[in-house]
Amino acid sequence: MNEELIELFLSTQAAEHGAGSNTLEAYNNDLQQWMYFYDDEPKNLTADDISDFAAFLNARGYEPASISRKMSALSDFCKFLFSEGIIKENPLINLDRPKKKQHLPKFLTREEITTLIEAAEYQDDNYSKRAAVMLKLMYACGLRVSELVSLPLNCINENEKQLLVKGKGAKERVVPIADEALYALHRWRELRELMLHRSTSRYLFPSCRSTCGHITRSGFFRGIKKLAQAAQIAPERVSPHILRHSFATHLLESKVDLRSLQAMLGHEDITTTQIYTHIVPNSLITDVISHHPLSKKTD
């Protein structure tokens, strides 16, 4: 299916936009690489998938200019998918596009994360309180925004302090929940019932306004941008993916090993996780890796 869509896209670029043979060949090469990375249906495509692809390319040593070109090709392909009605929304609309000069993960400090959450908790409306819980959960568990907004109500195991997450390709993983996030979730459930006004929903973060039944990625995106302003943090420095990067960076700084971090982030390839090794001291990386059981030599 993806192969056929690429061929149709190339034909459209040639017929409607006058793309030459060299341009079409470059498009094809970039999209074939994307198809190798992304093995799901186009309708399931999210901004997180594209961000992960950019991180994957960076970790594999591609030059910034090459990554930028591949992202541009993918952007044109997504516009085509949207125009053909194959995807319901363009996942690149709210995505932080990769900068040519720097592709290392952006992240917030621990203090900035705390300030952002406090800004949400300080607000008196229920939507801000919901945002505070979602921020805590995303930062505590390193969730993708698509995973966060679509969490079902029964995803929490309070006794084991664990969260069941359905990630890319419908693959499930279990991640631990920090006590503060678990307590926030417990209180949220009470507020959630009041916000539903006697109606029911299978989602942890329901929304009566969205057709999908839960808060949308774009809705959460807009909400945290407003909270960034309230917290006096530059809005361009705050996004769902940056919160995920912050989770990973802070855990690595605390000497959590790469294999454990890979499992919590739901990365298929350890290379994707290794992008975070570029933003912490080499001595710390050596220390982290040496503590993992798989790093020990066997006879």
Digit-coded pLDDT (tens) for 170-182: 789 999 998 999 9
Indicate which residue of 106, 129, 130, 244 is catalytic: 244
* Virtual torsion, Cα 110, 133, 116, 161, nearest 10 deg: 0
Is 276 noted as a catalytic residue in this protein? yes
- 144 catalytic? Reply is yes
Greater pLDDT, 256 or 137: 137
pLDDT tens, position by position, 260-298: 898 999 888 887 887 776 666 555 555 555 655 555 544
Domain 110-290 has CATH 3.30.1950.10: no
Whether 69 is catalytic is no
Delimiting residues of CATH 1.10.443.10 domain(s) in the chain: 110-290
CATH 1.10.150.130 intervals, the chain: 2-83
Q: Could you say which of 144, 192, 214, 245 is catalytic?
A: 144
* 270 strand-pairing partners: none
- The β-bridge relationship of strands 156-157 and 172-176 is unpaired
Q: Answer yes or no: 241 catalytic.
A: yes
- Homologous superfamily, domain 2-83: Tyrosine recombinase, N-terminal domain (1.10.150.130)
Point out the catalytic residue in the list 168, 192, 214, 245: 168
The question of whether 267 is a catalytic residue gets the answer: yes
Express each pLDDT in 187-205 by its tens digit: 999 899 888 877 889 999 9
Give the model confidence (pLDDT) of 25-45 as tens digits.
889 999 999 988 887 888 888
